[in-house]
Amino acid sequence: MKIVRPLLLISLIAFTGALFAQTAPLPPKPEAPPKPVPTTPQTPIPPAPQPNAAAWVLMDYANGQILASHDMDARRAPASLTKIMTEYVVAAELKAGKIHMDDKVHISEHAWRAGGAGTDGSTSFLKLDSDVPLQDLLKGMIIQSGNDAAIALAEHVAGSETAFADMMNAYAQRLGMDNTHFVNASGYPADDHYSSAHDIAILSRALIRNFPDLYQISKIKSFEWNGIMQYNRNPLLSSDPTVDGIKTGSTKEAGFCLAASALRDGMRLVVVDMGSPDMNAAATGDEALLNWGFNFYRTHKLYAAGQVLATPRLWKGQADTLELGIADDASVTIPRGQYDKLKATLEIPQRLIAPFKQGQQVGTLRVTFDGNPLVTEPLVVMKDAPEGGFFKRLWDAILLWFHHGNGTTTTPAPTVTVSSATPISAPAAPH
């Protein structure tokens, strides 16, 4: 009898566990996203315009998708498009509190000579050995494209233009600009000074996203300094009211270059062309690409950062479920009227055993369009999920004996609630 009773007890526990495993309610699986009827008819998309430029790219701002391009990763002389990175580094130093808008910046002989006097480069007409407020130098560099202003800013931030170029390259690497290397802050021709249309688009997107207040300078059409009126060199600011930046550039080696961005009905695009025969061709090419992109594509915000997308079963935890979501907004840019071709799925391990920390990746969100991958985002834990007490862990350990499956399951993501005519808001808030 002493042996039979423990065996009966074990059998009873096993039977109860099996019964519980079969009857215990599990979190409902998310329903498959419906296939909404497009609110705009599907129309054939013509080929993208072909600008008269050596290299060009059209990028969606919200997600970095490339809508059209030609030779976008070719390394080319960037001319004054370089100053977008100079602006980016200065903006980062301002945000960090290392420099300030009201700083008095000394104009050295190097900035005066290399940036303006005695050269055929663009200048902000700065006086040798003068002290100029930093905010005025920023306007002179961004609006007038003053080389002297760019060099003076570089020297103020890093002590020398060479040291500042090292900072530029460090930021370029951090942003994933794989075909870029800077030697100076102005874009003046130099050996081993290059970038690509794709990299300039990546940089421009980062500037708008991370430093939107400073980016506003890009749309100012004129600026008076020391009694001299200086005009913005971007011709699209006058011809297209939706354009609010970004930068022009030209040298004999680089040809004419133009990086531009426009915001229409909540959707923002970034376009870059390099190596045009003149600025009129550069502006015409950029504007044609912008019109094509806005006419035939739409950007949709699918899921928000922090939104709970799944609550799978959690084993041995204080809670019975684990909240999963994404750390950044997920958006896609697709042809107008073809929202029904989107499919979103979640890949989640079948066994999730506590503990988990907030931000820990445990799965993947995948979004495809007509079978082609568009978005791959880590599925992360929304809040800490500590272990449960002793008896909770013991009971779940018993139940796991009867739980089959130790791989990964793929389920539909929650319903996307935007319509095919609803765009994502842009620009995004800085972070």
Find the mean pLDDT for residues 333-356.
Answer: 92
The pLDDT assigned to 120 comes to 52
**In the annotation, is 11 catalytic?**
no
| 367-400 burial code (b ≥16 CB/10 A, e <16) | bbbeeeebbebebbbbeebeebeeebbebbebbb
Alpha carbon distance 152, 130 (integer Å) = 11
- State the pLDDT confidence band at 339, using cuts at 50, 70 and 90: confident
Q: Which residues are paired to 257 by β-bridges? A: 249
Asked whether 342 and 365 are in contact (CB, 8 A), the reply is no
Let me know if residue 146 belongs to a domain. Answer: yes
Q: At what angle do helices 134-142 and 82-95 cross, to 10 degrees?
A: 150
- State the pLDDT confidence band at 116, using cuts at 50, 70 and 90: low
Find the mean pLDDT for residues 388-393.
Answer: 92
The pLDDT assigned to 24 comes to 40
Residue 372, CA atoms < 13 Å, CB-side half-sphere? 5
Q: For the chain, give the percent of residues with pLDDT over 70.
A: 82
- Cβ-based neighbours of 355, under 8 Å, separated by 6 or more: 317, 384, 385, 386, 387
Q: Which residue has the higher pLDDT, 344 or 6?
A: 344
Helix (H, G, I), strand (E, B) or coil at 145: coil
Annotated active-site residue in 69, 124, 145, 276: 145
Question: Domain check: are 73 and 218 in the same one?
Answer: yes
Q: Which residues are paired to 181 by β-bridges? A: 194
| 44-69 burial code (b ≥16 CB/10 A, e <16) | eeeebbebbbbbbbbbbbbbebebbb
- State the pLDDT confidence band at 42, using cuts at 50, 70 and 90: low
**In the annotation, is 301 catalytic?**
no
Question: Domain check: are 219 and 255 in the same one?
Answer: yes
Picking from 115-124, 125-134, 375-384, which range would have the lowest pLDDT averaged per residue? 115-124
Residue 397, domain extent: 26-37+301-412
* Tens digit of each residue's pLDDT (9 = 90 or more) over 227-275: 889 899 999 999 999 999 999 999 999 999 999 999 999 999 999 999 9
Alpha carbon distance 105, 137 (integer Å) = 8
The pLDDT assigned to 227 comes to 87
Let me know if residue 388 belongs to a domain. Answer: yes
Asked whether 49 and 288 are in contact (CB, 8 A), the reply is yes
Let me know if residue 417 belongs to a domain. Answer: no
- Cβ-based neighbours of 346, under 8 Å, separated by 6 or more: 30, 309, 310, 324, 363, 364, 365, 366, 379, 410, 411, 412, 413
Picking from 330-339, 346-355, 409-418, which range would have the lowest pLDDT averaged per residue? 409-418
Place of tokens 């095919």: 420
Question: Domain check: are 30 and 62 in the same one?
Answer: no
- Tokens read off for 412: 């539909």
- H helical segments located in 24-56: none
Question: Domain check: are 229 and 310 in the same one?
Answer: no
The pLDDT assigned to 41 comes to 56
**In the annotation, is 419 catalytic?**
no
pLDDT at 98 exceeding the cut of 60:
yes
Let me know if residue 65 belongs to a domain. Answer: yes
Exposed/middle/buried for 421, CB within 10 Å: 0-12, 13-18, 19+? middle
Q: Which residue has the higher pLDDT, 45 or 195?
A: 195
CATH number at residue 198: 3.40.710.10
pLDDT at 75 exceeding the cut of 70:
yes
The pLDDT assigned to 400 comes to 87
- State the pLDDT confidence band at 408, using cuts at 50, 70 and 90: low
Question: Domain check: are 92 and 220 in the same one?
Answer: yes
Question: Domain check: are 233 and 324 in the same one?
Answer: no
pLDDT at 420 exceeding the cut of 80:
no
Question: Domain check: are 337 and 246 in the same one?
Answer: no
Considering its fold, how many domains does the chain have in total? 2
CATH number at residue 393: 2.60.410.10
Q: Which residue has the higher pLDDT, 290 or 122?
A: 290
Question: Domain check: are 206 and 321 in the same one?
Answer: no
* Tens digit of each residue's pLDDT (9 = 90 or more) over 159-179: 999 999 999 999 999 999 999
pLDDT at 31 exceeding the cut of 50:
no
Helix (H, G, I), strand (E, B) or coil at 351: coil
Alpha carbon distance 311, 300 (integer Å) = 24
Alpha carbon separation from 22 to 8, 16, 25, 318, 398 (Å, rounded): 21, 10, 9, 21, 13
Question: Domain check: are 113 and 167 in the same one?
Answer: yes
Q: Which residue has the higher pLDDT, 20 or 243?
A: 243
Asked whether 151 and 186 are in contact (CB, 8 A), the reply is yes
Question: Domain check: are 159 and 258 in the same one?
Answer: yes
Asked whether 135 and 211 are in contact (CB, 8 A), the reply is no
The pLDDT assigned to 196 comes to 98
Question: Domain check: are 63 and 176 in the same one?
Answer: yes
Question: Domain check: are 262 and 386 in the same one?
Answer: no
Find the mean pLDDT for residues 300-313.
Answer: 93
Q: Which residue has the higher pLDDT, 219 or 28?
A: 219
Find the mean pLDDT for residues 130-148.
Answer: 96
Q: Write out the H or E segment, with its range, that includes residue 333.
A: strand 330-335
Alpha carbon distance 354, 386 (integer Å) = 6
The pLDDT assigned to 35 comes to 40
- State the pLDDT confidence band at 28, using cuts at 50, 70 and 90: very low
Let me know if residue 290 belongs to a domain. Answer: no
Let me know if residue 283 belongs to a domain. Answer: no
- Tokens read off for 192: 């081993």
Let me know if residue 264 belongs to a domain. Answer: yes
Q: Which residues are paired to 133 by β-bridges? A: 104
Please give the mean pLDDT across all residues of the chain. Answer: 87
The pLDDT assigned to 403 comes to 74
Q: Of 80, 220, 229, 234, give the one whose Cα is nearest residue 150.
A: 80
Let me know if residue 431 belongs to a domain. Answer: no
Picking from 102-106, 163-167, 319-323, 400-404, which range would have the lowest pLDDT averaged per residue? 400-404
